[in-house]
Amino acid sequence: MDISINSLTLTQPDDWHLHLRDGDILRSVLRGSVGQFGRAIVMPNLTPPVVKVEQAAAYRKRILQALNDTAGETQEFEPLMTLYLTDDTPPDEIYKAAESGIIYGVKLYPAGATTNSAAGVTDLLGRCLSTLEAMQKVGMPLLMHGEVTDPKIDIFDREAVFIDRVMIPLRDALPELKVVFEHLTTRQGAEYVRDAAGPIAATITPHHLLYNRNALFNGGIRPHMYCLPVLKREIHRQALLEAATGGSGRFFLGTDSAPHLRGMKESACGCAGCYTAPYAMALYATAFESVGKLDQLEAFASLNGPRFYGLPVNKRKITLERASYTIPDALSVGDDELVPLAAGETLPWRFADAAYT
Ligand SMILES: NC(=O)N[C@@H](CC(=O)O)C(=O)O
Ligand SMILES: [Zn+2]
Ligand SMILES: [Zn+2]
């Protein structure tokens, strides 16, 4: 990594948690990731969800077609596909996934926990044990949306309670299963991942590094700051920053970029998800610099993820420039709009690349 006052050059990063969606919106949002990121773990929570290897293969083709149509051949980008775990995913689908060469993880959405999770899992060990055993056997990572869905549990406590109710029993039963605690948001989560035995890692989003829950109510209700797991108190943001910048190989970049059209966010019942991908590296650099840890950015963004997934590090480099840059108020998508995270805010860093506008 090469850090100077005016620029920052690092191994091209990967995004280990990305929602690309499908259809027209896929074409628009893909451009925000390509160039910046070499690869991305593509989330399977489409409607209908990607539950079978054939569906993942077809979705991958649509992504590659969109890439070809929009970015052209010059931009290389590899979508790493995932399957959506259900109560009825058979172990055979895991063996198929392992043989496919295109599936890199299986995603747990506790039923009802988040966007498009209705088909998710109702009882992980009760319903999925043989499938999880197959995953452990073939080394297929389980990517977990780590929140309980019990309505009696306060929404700000759902991640911490998930550790005791789901994560620990799961990992006691299957100690060799590779697990990614996705979009970590709490001090309890950071400490658990840091200290636990066995193969575990976590992704951290730019928004959970930069904002606490006050941002949701800053002068009025702010739907574009709403995602799940919801932003937490400042002590949790501090703990996440410490985890991301502290040199542990267990924490790596996952934007959880989750675009929803403006009208779906600015609504009486707005969707959860922050659109972060197009400005992700500038956002992460801003967060790392805020604690004087820019020198840790490359490990977090470009090295730790490939090591956990057993993949090579990217060969290309990217450069961020120190140039104050104001994130646009909105980005057009056909006749509609997406409002990016931090719209209207000025960042001290910019990733200037052809596919990035
Ligand atoms: N993070 C979110 O708030 N939303 C994601 C789903 C998810 O990652 O939980 C989405 O698909 O919109
Ligand atoms: Zn999630
Ligand atoms: Zn997500």
Residue 119 DSSP code:
T
Residue 102's Cα: distance from chain center in Å? 18
pTM (2 d.p.): 0.97
Q: Whose CA is nearest to atom 8 of ligand 1?
A: 256
**Mean pLDDT confidence for 177-202:** 98
- Judge whether residue 356 has pLDDT over 60: no
Q: How far apart are CA 299 and CA 303, in angstroms?
A: 5
Report the residue among 256, 260, 274 best suited for mutation to probe ligand 1: largest number of ligand atoms under 8 A from its CB: 256
Q: Is residue 323 part of a domain?
A: no
Q: Is residue 27 part of a domain?
A: yes
Which residues form the domain of 254?
13-313
Q: Is residue 191 part of a domain?
A: yes
Read off the pLDDT band of 357 (50, 70, 90).
Answer: very low
| Range of weakest confidence among 172-181, 255-264, 331-340, 347-356 | 347-356
CA of 89 to the centre of ligand 2 (A): 19
Structure tokens that stand for 110 in this block? 């506790």
Q: Is residue 351 part of a domain?
A: no
Indicate the number of domains in the chain.
1
Residues near ion ligand 2 (Cβ under 5 Å): 114, 145
Q: How far apart are CA 56 and CA 287, in angstroms?
A: 34
Of these residues, 150, 195, 256, 335, which one is catalytic?
A: 256
26 neighbors 66 (Cβ within 8 angstroms) = yes
CA of 243 to the centre of ligand 1 (A): 22
CA of 3 to the centre of ligand 3 (A): 30
Q: Is residue 319 part of a domain?
A: no
The ligand with the least distance to the CA atom of 273 is 1
Q: How far apart are CA 308 and CA 24, in angstroms?
A: 33
Question: Residue 302: exposed, middle, or buried by beta-carbon count in 10 A (0-12, 13-18, 19+)?
Answer: buried
Tens-digit pLDDT profile for residues 111-142: 999 989 999 999 999 999 999 999 999 999 99
Q: Is residue 186 part of a domain?
A: yes
Q: Is residue 169 part of a domain?
A: yes
- DSSP three-state, residue 110: strand
Residue type, 191: E
To the query of whether residue 256 is one of the catalytic residues in this protein, the response is yes
208: Cβ contacts below 8 Å, ≥ 6 apart: 183, 184, 185, 231, 232, 236, 237, 240
Q: Is residue 291 part of a domain?
A: yes
Pocket, ligand 1, Cβ cutoff 6 A: 19, 45, 114-115, 145, 227-228, 256, 258, 272-273
28 neighbors 3 (Cβ within 8 angstroms) = no
Tens-digit pLDDT profile for residues 59-83: 999 999 999 988 665 678 999 999 9
Question: At residue 97, what are phi and psi to the nearest 5 degrees?
Answer: -60, -45
The ligand with the least distance to the CA atom of 255 is 3
What value, to the nearest 5°, has the Cα angle with vertex 129 and ends 127 and 134?
130
Tens-digit pLDDT profile for residues 269-295: 999 999 999 999 999 999 999 999 999
Q: What is the CATH number of the domain that holds 108?
A: 3.20.20.140
